[in-house]
């Protein structure tokens, strides 16, 4: 059996001393899989991603990446291992879309180095994969919300991470671009990249995920394969409302 690319043990975190956001979170993520983290607002999903990325430090518990303690990684090593697609991001400079995506190559460049032809080729391939190659010279601030979200994903792909984290990756996308993103994530997993994404939408998880993690109020309620975890009982406990799970053309479908 493959060793986990990510292991969390008894992870606890709070922004205030007596307000725990995460409580005793333990899980293993296998390489080359797609995992959905599901839960309502305030469940701790985004905080969990920030801990994995090293942007926050756990108050208790351990994080291992590829069998190694997270705290032993340098910032550059972390940036080569992991990429993040946030829900939104303020872009202070008037970058072109290509320049913005080239920022994903920063972990492979020295402090004063300019991107090489190889870096430009990787960035252009990321734009092609996500369907933005025709906007390569457009100023990033002029993009629509959906186009900006696609540009952030292209930047993460240009980073060539082994672990790709996404926070609500389809929240601003129309159906066509949502389908494109899901196909890109499937392709990444086939190439051995591990994908972890947060979502409020159980049907998005049912569409693409191999594994599902259900969270409520900072704790894990259930974790496992799609079939064993995405049940009416588990989802009702997660969201606090009656939920029905059915099948439509062999696909799990969740109805509140």
Q: What is the domain extent for residue 66?
A: 6-86+162-255
Average pLDDT over residues 213-221: 94
CATH (domain of 52): 3.40.50.300
Average pLDDT over residues 184-210: 95
Whether residue 103 is predicted with pLDDT greater than 90 in this model: the reply is: yes
Q: List pLDDT tens digits, range 117-148.
A: 999 999 999 999 999 999 999 999 999 989 99
Whether residue 249 is predicted with pLDDT greater than 90 in this model: the reply is: no
Q: Write down the pLDDT at residue 154.
A: 97
* Length, in residues, of the chain: 256
Residues 6+ apart with CB under 8 A from 172: 145, 146, 148, 149
Whether residue 14 is predicted with pLDDT greater than 70 in this model: the reply is: yes
- Specify if 69 maps to a domain: yes
- Specify if 50 maps to a domain: yes
Q: List pLDDT tens digits, range 27-86.
A: 999 999 999 999 998 899 999 999 999 999 999 999 999 999 999 999 999 999 999 999
Domain tally for the chain? 1
Q: Between the CA of residue 159 and those of 67, 169, 187, 212, 253, what are the distances in Å?
A: 21, 17, 16, 25, 34
Distance CA 221, CA 127 (A): 37
Whether residue 236 is predicted with pLDDT greater than 70 in this model: the reply is: yes
Give the mean pLDDT of the chain: 93
Distance CA 78, CA 68 (A): 12
Name the band, by pLDDT with cuts 50, 70 and 90, for residue 3: very high
Measured CA angle at 124 (ends 165, 78), to 5 deg = 30
Q: Write down the pLDDT at residue 1.
A: 67
Whole-model pTM: value is: 0.94
Whether residue 18 is predicted with pLDDT greater than 80 in this model: the reply is: no
- Specify if 135 maps to a domain: no
Q: List pLDDT tens digits, range 159-193.
A: 999 999 999 999 889 999 999 999 999 999 999 99
Distance CA 88, CA 97 (A): 15
Q: For 91, how many CA atoms within 13 A lie in the half-sphere containing its CB? A: 22
Residue pair 112/125 in contact (Cβ under 8 Å)? The answer is: no
Gyration radius of the chain's alpha carbons:
18
Q: For 219, how many CA atoms within 13 A lie in the half-sphere containing its CB? A: 6
- Dihedral angle sign, alpha carbons of residues 205, 209, 210, 216: negative
- Specify if 114 maps to a domain: no
């Amino acid at each position: 059996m493959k060793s986990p690319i990510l292991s969390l043990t008894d992870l606890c975190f709070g922004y205030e001393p007596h307000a725990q956001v995460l409580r005793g979170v333990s899980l293993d993520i296998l390489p080359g899989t797609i995992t959905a983290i599901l839960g309502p607002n305030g469940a701790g999903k985004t905080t969990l991603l920030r801990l994995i990325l090293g942007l926050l430090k756990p108050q208790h518990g351990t994080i291992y990446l590829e069998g190694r303690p997270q705290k032993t990684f340098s910032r550059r090593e972390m940036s080569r291992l992991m990429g993040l697609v946030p829900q939104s991001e303020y872009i202070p400079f008037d970058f072109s879309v290509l320049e913005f995506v080239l920022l994903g190559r920063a972990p492979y460049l020295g402090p004063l180095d300019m991107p090489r032809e190889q870096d430009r080729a990787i960035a252009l391939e990321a734009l092609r994969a996500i369907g933005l190659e025709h906007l390569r010279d457009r100023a990033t601030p002029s993009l629509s919300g959906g186009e900006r979200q696609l540009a952030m994903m292209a930047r993460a792909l240009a980073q060539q991470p082994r672990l790709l984290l996404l926070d609500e990756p389809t929240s601003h996308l129309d159906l066509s671009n949502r389908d494109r993103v899901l196909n890109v994530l499937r392709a990444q997993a086939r190439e051995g990249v591990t994908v972890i994404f947060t979502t409020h939408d159980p049907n998005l998880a049912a569409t693409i995920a191999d594994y599902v993690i259900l969270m409520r109020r900072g704790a894990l309620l259930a974790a496992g394969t799609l079939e064993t975890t995405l049940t009416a009982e588990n989802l009702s406990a997660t969201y606090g409302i009656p939920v029905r799970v059915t099948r439509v053309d062999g696909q799990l479908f969740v109805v509140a």
